[in-house]
Amino acid sequence: MTLIAQPKASHFVDGAYLEDKAGAPIEVIFPATGEVIARVHEATPSVIEAALASATRAQADWARLKPVERARILSRAAALIRERNQSLSELETLDTGKPIQETLVADATSGADALEYFAGLAPTVTGESVPLGRDFVYTVREPLGVCVGIGAWNYPTQIACWKSAPALAFGNAMVFKPSETTPLCTLKIAEIFIEAGLPPGLFNVVQGRGSVGAALVTDPRVAKVSLTGSVPTGRKVYAMAAEGIRHVTMELGGKSPLIVFDDASLENAVGGALLGNFYSAGQVCSNGTRVFVQKGIKARFLDRLQARTEAIKLGDPRDPLTQMGPLVSAAQLDRVLAAVEAAREAGARLITGGYRAGNNDGYYMAPTIFADVTDDMALARDEVFGPVMAVLDFTDEEEVIARANASEFGLAAGVFTADLARAHRVVAALQAGTCWINAYNLTPVEAPFGGVKLSGVGRENSKAAIEHYTQVKSVYVNFGDVDAPY
Ligand code: NAD
């Protein structure tokens, strides 16, 4: 895999690459070596204008197409993504540092899933007819217009596809701003859309930091904003969108509970906790980072957890045998190391890891487990977004439900138990938008995904996305005379 990833230009607008070197430069760094692999420029006001103007223009014609015609183009894009999975996965690995064994199965492929799913769903979306005696009302689901997508850096390809697939399927245009940390992958998706036959302007990519995102969110031509990011950013973007009464989807952070009862299958529960904390080096929003373990299984659980964690192969993400790569950036590594230090000082018991790993060029963090974590510690309250697992003890069901819910977040939750009646009872009581029983972090496109409380509003994927990328028009049809009293 070559280390040169320079795109043809920084932005993709109206069907073609676009450059404007007047914008502030952004260096793209390969997290495994610290090397600069590409440079892009932030969008200038003229790039932002071109993106919004072409999206507005293109959307009007796109909305008039039959859904099945839009679907055909999205299906072609999905097929092209699958054909190019190898090169797209290599680029995702360079952009994010995630191991190639993950990116080959989790990123472009899940993007293609979303395009296929929404291509299939688009022609099924219909309104309803409401009989009113002599008269009737019919409803039509119409597109919102120009939607803005703003991405986080952990899943750049997936996030771009999860947002653009429903937006486009239901007749909208999308202007997408990737995270400034991972600006490369989305440009390839834009190229593929054009090859698949998407009319120019319907999917534009503009690069930049928060200020570019803010310029998009506040533009009067924009009808909707879908953000994947942190809670502080979510607050700002939500407030800006509110000024223009825009629709929003907010996919924000979490500190999700993963509850292991005594009767759970030990290996499955350990496997779930490992996947829910260490996949993508822990940089997954829905991770089950508060692992509540019932006291009867705790000792055996910690033994197996430690053994399986210490066998994880940390290394160069380009090596197909590598199971965990570096964190995305030096800044993220510093944040994670600070959280580990704070946990140590607060009295959490370090089971394994806790240090920067590898050479000092890459941003590697050893997979880390703390036991005896208590609810008041920062490690049990704040999102770390790195490979740091907190294990907490509990005694009974009622107690663990109350403690699991005592969080400002509510993105996800998992329960491991052999007692399915208990599993459903616990899940019913948990304040979380996405739950798993005897599994963790499975996010098929068929299932709604999103959070409650500070973790967000709206849902991505599934039929629920229809609500978030269309609006209902209600049409009253009168067959009689108008009965005016004056
Ligand atoms: P971030 O909030 O720093 O940035 C997210 C995006 O928002 C970036 O593209 C950034 O440039 C942009 N942005 C920042 N300030 C802005 C502003 N004022 N106006 C408009 N846009 C602005 O998040 P991050 O560090 O890139 O990602 C990590 C966070 O994302 C974590 O909290 C994680 O939990 C969350 N996340 C959530 C999901 C989910 O689906 N719920 C998925 C992945 C990541």
- Tens-digit pLDDT profile for residues 438-459: 999 999 999 999 999 999 999 9
CA 229 to centroid of ligand 1, rounded, Å: 2
Closest CA to 384 of 405, 394, 370: 370
Pick left, alpha or beta for residue 14 (phi over 0 → left; psi -120 to 50 → alpha; otherwise beta). left
Are residues 340 and 390 in contact, defined by beta-carbon separation less than 8 angstroms? Answer: no
Are residues 136 and 129 in contact, defined by beta-carbon separation less than 8 angstroms? Answer: yes
The CB of 153 under 6 Å from ligand 1? The reply is yes
Mutational pocket test of ligand 1: of 230, 231, 328, 334, the residue with most ligand atoms within 8 Å of the beta carbon: 230
Q: For the segment 403-412, what is each residue's pLDDT rounded down to a tens digit? A: 999 999 999 9
The CB of 411 under 6 Å from ligand 1? The reply is yes
The CB of 150 under 6 Å from ligand 1? The reply is yes
Residue nearest to ligand 1 atom 30, measured at CA: 229
Q: What is the CA radius of gyration of the chain?
A: 24
Mutational pocket test of ligand 1: of 26, 228, 235, 277, the residue with most ligand atoms within 8 Å of the beta carbon: 228
Distant-in-sequence, close-in-space partners of 406: CB < 8 Å, separation ≥ 6:
375
Closest CA to 365 of 394, 411, 330, 396: 330
The CB of 237 under 6 Å from ligand 1? The reply is yes
Question: Max CA-CA distance within the chain?
Answer: 85
Atom of ligand 1 nearest to the CA of 450: 41
Pick left, alpha or beta for residue 365 (phi over 0 → left; psi -120 to 50 → alpha; otherwise beta). beta
Mutational pocket test of ligand 1: of 107, 163, 179, the residue with most ligand atoms within 8 Å of the beta carbon: 179
The CB of 172 under 6 Å from ligand 1? The reply is no
Predicted pLDDT of residue 360 = 85
Q: Which residues of the chain have pLDDT under 70?
A: 1-2
Distant-in-sequence, close-in-space partners of 87: CB < 8 Å, separation ≥ 6:
none
Predicted pLDDT of residue 382 = 98
The residues that are catalytic are 163, 251, 285, 460
Predicted pLDDT of residue 359 = 82
Atom of ligand 1 nearest to the CA of 236: 18
The CB of 42 under 6 Å from ligand 1? The reply is no
* Strand 135-143 relative to strand 470-477, pairing: antiparallel
Q: Judge residue 350's burial from the number of C-beta atoms within 10 Å of its C-beta, 0-12 exposed, 13-18 middle, 19 or more buried.
A: middle
Distances (CA, A) of 33 to 37, 48, 179, 281, 387: 10, 33, 20, 16, 19
CA 230 to centroid of ligand 1, rounded, Å: 5
Atom of ligand 1 nearest to the CA of 455: 41
Are residues 475 and 138 in contact, defined by beta-carbon separation less than 8 angstroms? Answer: yes
Atom of ligand 1 nearest to the CA of 209: 11
Are residues 248 and 227 in contact, defined by beta-carbon separation less than 8 angstroms? Answer: yes
The CB of 287 under 6 Å from ligand 1? The reply is no
The 3-class secondary structure across 99-121, one letter per residue, is CHHHHHHHCHHHHHHHHHHHHHH
CA 216 to centroid of ligand 1, rounded, Å: 15
Residue nearest to ligand 1 atom 26, measured at CA: 152
CA 184 to centroid of ligand 1, rounded, Å: 16
Q: Which residue in this structure is represented by tokens 């914008």?
A: 23
The CB of 236 under 6 Å from ligand 1? The reply is yes
